[in-house]
Amino acid sequence: MPDFATINLAWMAWTPQTGLFFGALLALLFVMTMFALRRPEVERIGVLGIPTTRGDRLFLSLLGAAFIHLGWLGLAGGELWWASLLSLAYAALVFRFV
């Protein structure tokens, strides 16, 4: 069994932003799991006309956030904080109306 204290992860190019992203993603999945255990979900039909669950809306939010960030990098460049704020607004709309 390898000694985890001596594993070199430099090849992965971990940065504080990368760690923050994956930590936030892990926390989000944990919160969604706890919420699903406390309040079992019921599918609902939103503006797409298809039944969606919270997990479906989370997936759509994460996918949309990825495209928003890629579009921001390609068209505007610079700081990604504005793209992140736009992604949060998009996620709020998805969870409200989809």
pTM of the model: 0.77
Is 6 a member of any domain?
no
Is 1 a member of any domain?
no
Number of domains comprising the chain: 1
User: Dihedral (C-alpha) 60, 62, 63, 69: value to the nearest 10 degrees?
Assistant: 140
Q: What does the pLDDT read at residue 5?
A: 62
Could you list the residue range(s) of the whole structural domain that residue 40 is in?
14-97
Q: What is the pLDDT along the chain (98 residues), one digit of tens a residue?
A: 566 666 666 777 777 878 888 899 999 999 999 998 999 888 999 898 999 999 999 999 999 999 999 999 999 988 888 999 999 999 999 999 99
Is 3 a member of any domain?
no
Is 50 a member of any domain?
yes
Is 69 a member of any domain?
yes
Backbone angles phi, psi at 83, to 5 degrees: -65, -35
Is 74 a member of any domain?
yes
Is 23 a member of any domain?
yes
Is 75 a member of any domain?
yes
Q: What does the pLDDT read at residue 11?
A: 73
